[in-house]
Amino acid sequence: MKIIHTSDWHLGQSFYSYDRKEEHRLFLAWLRNELSAAKADALLIAGDVFDNPNPPAESQAMYYRFLREITSDNPELNVVVIAGNHDSAARLEAPEPLLEGMRVHARGIIRRKSDGEIDLERLIIPLICDGVTKAWCLAVPYLRQGDYPPASNYSEGVSKLYRALLDAVPDASLPIVAMGHLQSMGACISDNDSSERSIIGGLESVSSDAFPSTLAYTALGHLHRPQSVSGRDKIRYAGAPVPMSFAERNNRRGVVLVEISEGINAETKFDFIDFSPPSELISIPRSDEAGSLQTVLEELANLPGGEITSLSPYIEVRIKLREPEPALRFRIESALEGKSVRLAGIVPVFPSQGKSSGGVSFEELHNIKPVDMALDVYRQTFGGEEMPQAMQELLLTAIREADR
């Protein structure tokens, strides 16, 4: 069985006020071709199909048009979609009566039976080839409080759910594939990238032990960098095919092609298929450090000229300042006149007291999470000690209530 694993499309995203629909359209066209070229038996979309719970109608139309096209191109293709934390679980499931006729299975809501028990059977989807079930897919969407069995913490609850699903699989002699949208311990996050961090600051990270070694493959979403987890090749993030922030500009992008042999002792092989996003992300200066205004203006002068299009590169400018510069934006915009780039942001970096990093930008301050701030203050107050787990859990509860 050949499976293509993808995730984190974030259709409908507005990138620094710029519409990205053309970039997303080209990615979906590319993926459509790759599905046919690989003769894939299944497509697994591991969450964050959309960038927010109420996506633009145009983005929804793009998504459903893509599903119609790929199922028309590949009549035997199995498609399984799970909701991510950015998706509306109910919205993703709403067209279910129509989608299942196309062999598209969308799972976003954890439903319960009349006795209060989780409806496990609904999350176990057969992957069918030539009219025969060749594997099982455990389609677990992003889990919120109350979605998993009773447990002392989030990681334990998620683990209990996957093990309960494994026990409920009708025929365990067939390969079993799991899906999830979560942050796994042992996975890497892009530096300074708030777009892929956990909503609650990382306290809901899940141990890789939640995914038993008997699984043929685990297809994860949520983190935007393609990677395996904790050295286990069978647990993978596909990553985001289109970068969501400048911190992700150097990430590899594409989809994972998975080949699973038949039987309970199925062998699993992997190949990453690279996708080149049509719009480049450029940071000025080209190094990761902020530069002086003069250095920045010199680099801007060397950018290519031409018209600005829907696929022109995005540019972020990071400038070291010792005091506010009222004419800063005017000088940057003037330097970019006639250049074929789209200005995404100007990040002034001022000297900071007591830090060796050289400065803290407004963007970095804006992206600090309440939990991260509290943990840092605790360390400073108590001589570098970490906040006790019980206190972290209490803080997490308070933040959740405030969010509601």
Q: Read off the pLDDT of residues 324-362 as tens digits, 9 standing for 90 and up.
A: 888 899 999 999 999 999 999 998 888 763 344 444 544
- The Cα 166–Cα 112 span in angstroms is 18
- Residues linked to residue 221 through DSSP beta bridges, in sequence order: 181
Mean pLDDT across the stretch 156-171? 96
Locate the domains of the chain by residue range. 2-274, 281-365, 370-403
95: left (phi over 0), alpha (psi -120 to 50) or beta: alpha
Instruction: Map residue 370 onto helix, strand or coil.
Output: helix
DSSP 144: -
Residue 200 has pLDDT above 50, yes or no: no
- The Cα 273–Cα 294 span in angstroms is 41
97: exposed, middle or buried (Cβ count in 10 Å: 0-12, 13-18, 19+): exposed
Residue 147 has pLDDT above 90, yes or no: yes
**CATH number of the 2-274 domain:** 3.60.21.10
Q: Is the dihedral of CA 129, 28, 226, 212 positive or negative?
A: negative
Q: What is the mean pLDDT of the chain?
A: 89
Residue 146 has pLDDT above 90, yes or no: no
Q: Is the dihedral of CA 250, 240, 310, 20 positive or negative?
A: negative
Residue 195 has pLDDT above 60, yes or no: no
Spatial CB neighbours of 74, under 8 Å, sequence gap ≥ 6? 35, 36, 40
- Residues linked to residue 291 through DSSP beta bridges, in sequence order: 319
Report pTM. 0.85
- Model confidence pLDDT, tens digit, residues 71-85: 999 999 999 999 999
Whose CA is closest to 180, among 237, 234, 135, 232? 237
Residue 312 has pLDDT above 80, yes or no: yes
Q: C-alpha angle with apex 12: 11 to 17, nearest 5 degrees?
A: 135
- The Cα 15–Cα 22 span in angstroms is 12
